[in-house]
């Protein structure tokens, strides 16, 4: 009789533990806010000026986010290493990523901008990594990690276009970048600003007049990747 009582008690403890874990599970929303300085990004219609004083408009802006890691106040980590997301300024739904977590407070978030080398050489992908999304070069050069296209009077290209397709996964030309942001939030959302101006005036000064096009891996792509990594920050609410 005592043995059965112990078994029943053990079963109750297990059930209560499972219930507690599931009860603590909730969703956290990572919301990306494409901006140009302090302004919300407006595609096609709004004219901006970069740090070089060059006017520009944006027609297309996309980037990959992968290997998201949530870090709580005890430095415990929850990793989403198999999830890849394509954030598109033209698609508001894509700018919102919802993830399950049991953390009560998020101390920091870490993620990769781009697609890791393994996925670049793993054959035809689906979902966000489907080549039909227009973010893939060739099997030799792999995925475009981030894309910025628009027009500028400073560009000497036809119709004054500029076009930055940033990628590269091989040694010596790797354009993936890891971003770490401290947030300290106990809310159910993390709001992240993505500032277009940093593409031109971040770690490296990039001139549209001098460099209106980047369509292959290499030194310019890696400089742009450095700037892109610095374009992310935690959104400041009034």
pLDDT in tens, 64-95: 999 999 999 899 999 998 899 999 999 999 99
Residue 117 is assigned to a structural domain of this protein: yes
Residue 54 is assigned to a structural domain of this protein: yes
Model confidence at 203, pLDDT cuts 50, 70, 90, reads very high
Residue 139, beta-bridge partner list = none
The full DSSP string for 16-45 is HHHHHHHHH-EEEEEEEEEEETTEEP-TTT
Give the predicted TM-score (pTM) of the model: 0.87
Residues 6+ apart with CB under 8 A from 169: 114, 115, 116, 117, 120, 142, 143, 175, 176, 217
**Counting Cβ atoms within 10 Å, is residue 191 exposed (0-12), middle (13-18) or buried (19+)?**
middle
* Whether the predicted pLDDT of 198 surpasses 60: yes
pLDDT of residue 149: 98
Model confidence at 124, pLDDT cuts 50, 70, 90, reads confident
Q: What is the mean pLDDT of residues 29-58?
A: 96
Q: Are 174 and 227 in contact (CB under 8 A)?
A: no
Residue 11 is assigned to a structural domain of this protein: no
pLDDT of residue 138: 84
Which of 9-23, 46-60, 83-97, 194-208 has the lowest average pLDDT? 9-23
Residue 8 is assigned to a structural domain of this protein: no
Residue 69 is assigned to a structural domain of this protein: yes
Please state the φ and ψ torsions of residue 30, each to the nearest 5 degrees: -100, 115
The full DSSP string for 90-114 is TBGGGGEEEEEE--SSEEEEEEEES
Residue 158 is assigned to a structural domain of this protein: yes
Q: What is the mean pLDDT of residues 33-60?
A: 96
Cα 232 to Cα 194: distance, rounded to the nearest angstrom: 5
Q: From 187, 151, 138, select the one nearest 29 (Cα to Cα).
A: 187
Residue 12 is assigned to a structural domain of this protein: no
Q: From 193, 226, 183, 178, select the one nearest 95 (Cα to Cα).
A: 193
Q: Which domain holds residue 98?
A: 27-234
Which of 18-27, 58-67, 69-78, 229-238 has the lowest average pLDDT? 18-27
Domain count, the chain: 1
Residue 10 is assigned to a structural domain of this protein: no
């Amino acid at each position: 009789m005592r043995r059965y009582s112990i078994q029943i008690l053990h079963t109750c403890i297990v059930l209560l533990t499972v219930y507690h874990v599931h009860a603590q599970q909730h969703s956290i929303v990572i919301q990306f806010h494409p901006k140009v300085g302090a302004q919300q990004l407006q595609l096609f219609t709004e004219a901006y000026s970069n740090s070089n004083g060059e006017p520009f408009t944006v027609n297309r802006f996309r980037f990959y986010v992968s290997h998201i890691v949530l870090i709580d106040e005890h430095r415990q980590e929850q990793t989403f290493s198999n999830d890849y997301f394509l954030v598109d300024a033209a698609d508001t739904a894509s700018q919102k990523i919802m993830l399950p977590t049991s953390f009560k407070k998020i101390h920091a978030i870490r993620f990769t901008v781009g697609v890791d080398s393994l996925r670049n050489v793993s054959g035809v992908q689906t979902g966000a990594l489907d080549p039909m999304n227009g973010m893939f070069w060739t099997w030799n050069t792999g995925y475009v990690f981030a894309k910025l296209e628009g027009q500028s009077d400073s560009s000497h290209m036809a119709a004054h276009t500029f076009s930055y397709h940033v990628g590269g996964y091989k040694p010596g030309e790797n354009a993936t970048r890891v971003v770490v942001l401290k947030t300290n939030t106990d809310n159910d959302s993390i709001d992240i600003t993505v500032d277009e101006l940093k593409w031109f005036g971040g770690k490296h000064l990039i001139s549209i007049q001098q460099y209106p096009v980047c369509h292959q891996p290499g030194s310019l792509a890696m400089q742009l990747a450095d700037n892109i990594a610095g374009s992310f920050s935690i959104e400041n609410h009034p």
